Amino acid sequence: MPEGWIRTTIAGVSSVPVSYGVVQTGDPVEGGVPCVRVVDIASRDLKRDSMITTSHEISAAYSRTVLKTGDLMIALRGIIGQTAQATRELEGCNLTRGIARISPKAGTVTSDFLLQSLNGPEFKSLINRQANGSALQEISIATLRKAPVLLPPISEQKRIAETLQTWDRAIDTVEALIANARAQKQALMQQLLSGKRRLPGFSEPWAWAAFADVFDRVKTKNAEGNTNVLTISAQHGLISQVEYFNKSVASDDVRGYTLLQRGDFAYNKSYSDGYPMGAIKPLDRYDSGIVSSLYICFRLTRRGCDHDFFRHYFEAGLFNREIAAIAQEGARNHGLLNVSVVEFFETSLHIPQPDEQAAIAKVINAAEAEEQSYQAQLTALRQEKAALMQQLLTGKRRVKLPESEVA
What are the pLDDT digits (tens) for 347-398? 999 999 999 999 999 999 999 999 999 999 999 999 999 999 999 999 998 8
Q: Around 331, how many Cα atoms within 13 Å sit in the side-chain half-sphere?
A: 8
DSSP string, 88-122: GGGTT-EEBTTEEEE-BPTTT--HHHHHHHHTSHH
Whether residue 52 has pLDDT greater than 80: yes
Residue at which a domain ends, from 126, 151, 176: 151
- Which of residues 302, 331, 351 is at a domain's end? 351
- Pairing relation of β-strands 33-36 and 94-95? parallel
Same domain for 217 and 125: no
Answer whether 257's CB lies under 8 Å from 297's CB: no
274 shares its domain with 345: yes
Angle among Cα 205, 207, 211 to the nearest 5 degrees reads 160
Q: Is residue 361, in this structure, part of any structural domain at all?
A: no
Assigned domain for 179 exists: no
Q: Do 122 and 16 fall into the same domain? A: yes
Average pLDDT over residues 39-62: 89
The better pLDDT of the pair 176, 123 is held by 176
Check whether residue 124 and residue 260 sit in a common domain: no
Span 270-300, pLDDT tens digits? 888 889 999 999 999 999 999 999 999 999 9
The larger pLDDT score, comparing residue 348 to residue 126, is at: 348
Classify strands 207-210 and 348-351 as parallel, antiparallel or unpaired: antiparallel
Whether the CB-CB separation of 280 and 266 falls below 8 Å is answered with yes
Do 146 and 213 belong together in one domain?
no
Whether residue 296 lies inside any domain: the answer is yes
**Number of structural domains the chain divides into:** 2
What separation, in Å, do the N-terminal and C-terminal C-alpha atoms of the chain show? 17
356-367 burial, b if ≥16 CB within 10 A, otherwise e?
bbbbbbeebeeb
Question: CB 341: neighbour CB atoms within 10 A?
Answer: 13
- H/E stretch holding 35 reads strand 33-36
In the predicted model, what is the mean pLDDT of residues 22-35?
82
237 and 308 share one domain: yes
**pLDDT band at residue 149, thresholds of 50, 70 and 90?**
very high
pLDDT single digits (tens) 313-337: 999 999 999 999 998 755 455 567 8
Same domain for 142 and 12?
Answer: yes
> For the residues 56-75, what does the mean pLDDT come to?
93
The CATH number of whichever domain residue 55 belongs to comes to 3.90.220.20
How many degrees, rounded to 5, is the angle at CA 235 between CA 36 and CA 302? 145
Report pLDDT for 70.
96
Residue at 241 is within a domain: yes
Q: Would residue 357 count as lying in a domain? A: no
Query: Is the confidence at residue 134, as pLDDT, over 70?
Result: no
Residues 214 and 340 in one domain: yes
The span from the CA of 352 to the CA of 296, in Å, is 25
With a cut of 90, say whether residue 170 has pLDDT above it. Answer: yes
Same domain, 83 and 14: yes
What pLDDT does 201 receive? 96
Same domain, yes or no, for 219 and 343? yes
12 closest CA partner among 103, 94, 112: 103
404 inside domain: no
Q: Domain boundary at 106, 122, 151, which?
A: 151
- Contact, 160 vs 116, CB < 8 A? yes
- Residue 251 located in a structural domain: yes
Q: What residues make up the domain containing 102?
A: 8-151
Regarding whether 141 and 217 lie in a shared domain, the answer is no
Neighbours of 88 (CB within 10 A): 8
> Is residue 163 in some structural domain?
no
Relative to beta strand 258-261, strand 265-268 is unpaired
Q: Say how far apart CA 32 and CA 43 lie, in whole Å.
A: 22
243-272: pLDDT as tens digits: 888 777 677 788 899 999 999 999 999 888
Q: Are residues 129 and 230 in the same domain?
A: no
Task: Give the model's pLDDT for residue 405.
Answer: 58
Query: Could you give the CA distance from residue 398 to residue 258 in angstroms, rounded to a whole number?
Result: 56
Least confident of 13-27, 180-194, 212-226, 364-378: 13-27
DSSP 8-state secondary structure symbol assigned to residue 221: B
